[in-house]
Structure 1
Amino acid sequence: MTASHTDQPLALQELEEKLDRLIEQYQAVKNDNRLLRLREQELLEEKTQLLEKSALARSRVEAMITRLKALEQAHD
């Protein structure tokens, strides 16, 4: 199927429009990816903080248990 000369400008225009849409989609995906990476970093930092708080709480609870056991033994 051979395109005539009159069809070529229309075909070229359609190709340009498709390319423009692809570029817009690429930019949107690129932006989404950037935002997702930022969110991932935030979540990793939050996870680190929560793990630190959890370890501190565990340490404090263990210390309280140890003190309670010592008090219990002292009263026996």
Structure 2
Amino acid sequence: MEDDDLKALARQLELLIQRLEQIKAHNRFLLANEKAWREERAHLIEKNEIARHKVESMISRLKALEQDS
């Protein structure tokens, strides 16, 4: 009976190790995904800032043109 218990315990341990490896792989995937999202977000923020500066510049030029008229 002890031999059967040891085999069952060994099998459970193998399953736990497999599950741990699956979780590690999934965690690596999630971390890579998060990194990509953060990079994309930073890029979008940068593009937004450039667009905001362009719009502010256009508004300033329009105001200057309006005052010259």
Same fold flag (TM > 0.5): yes
Which category of TM-score, normalised to the shorter sequence, fits these structures?
Answer: over 0.9
Runs of at least 5 residues in structure 1 that lack an aligned partner in the other structure: 1-6
4+ aligned runs moved over 6 Å, structure 1: none
RMSD: 0.6
Q: Displacement of 1:74 after TM fit?
A: 1.1
Structure whose CA Rg is larger: 1
Runs of at least 5 residues in structure 2 that lack an aligned partner in the other structure: none
After TM superposition, the score normalised by the length of structure 1 is 0.87
Residue 43 (structure 1) aligns with: 37
Number of corresponding residues? 69
Match of 2:13 among 2, 10, 19: 19
Q: After superposition, what is the alpha-carbon deviation per residue over 1:1-50, rounded to whole angstroms, capped at 9, x for unaligned? A: xxxxxx01110110011001101110010001100110111011111101
Structure 2 CA distance for aligned equivalents of residues 74 and 24 of structure 1: 75
